[in-house]
Amino acid sequence: MHRFDVCLNPQKVNQLTIGNYPRKVDEYLATGKPVVATRTETMEDFADCVYLCNGPEEYIQAIEKSLQEKDNQQLIQHRIRVARSHTWENSVQKMYDAIRAHTPKQEKK
C-alpha cells in the first residue's frame, strides 16, 4: 500500500486549464490531507483550504508548510467539510441558480 502525506495538483496554466474545475482536488480534500495546487482563477475558491502556488519555488514552500500542518485536526476536518459541500447535487444546483439569475422572468398572462 502506498502512503503519502501531501496531495499535489500541478497544472500548466493555459487557455484550456485557466478556468477548469479540477475535480481531483475535491477527492484529495475528502481524505483530509493537505493539497498543494497551481493557482488559477477557479482554484481561488479553495484558497482557505488548499495551498495555491505560482511556480516551483512556491510549490516547495507550500509542501514544506503543509507537512508541518498535516496532522492539524482542525484543518483536516475543514478540508473534509469543503469536499462534502462539493457534491454533484450541489454543483448542479449552483448551475440552475445561475441560469435562473440570468434568465428574464416571463410575465403571467
Is residue 30 one of the residues assigned to a domain? Answer: yes
Percentage of the chain lying above the pLDDT 70 cut: 95
Query: How many CA within 13 A on the CB side of residue 40?
Result: 19
pLDDT tens column, 50-101 = 999 999 999 999 999 999 998 999 999 999 999 999 888 888 888 888 899 8
Using the predicted structure, report yes or no on whether residue 109 has a pLDDT greater than 80: no
Q: Is the pLDDT of residue 3 over 80?
A: yes
List C-alpha distances in Å: 41 to 22, 61, 102. Answer: 12, 21, 22
**How confident is the model at residue 1, as a pLDDT?**
63
Any domain includes 107: no
pLDDT more than 90, % of the chain: 59
13 found inside a domain = yes
60 within some domain: yes
User: Is residue 1 a part of any domain in this protein?
Assistant: no
Q: What is the pLDDT of residue 25?
A: 94
Count the domains in the chain: 1
The answer to whether residue 109 sits within a structural domain is no
Instruction: Tell me the C-alpha distance between 93 and 88, whole Å.
Output: 8
The overall longest dimension of the chain from CA atoms, in Å, is 65
Q: Chain-wide mean pLDDT for the chain?
A: 90
Q: Band of the pLDDT at 38, cuts 50, 70, 90?
A: very high
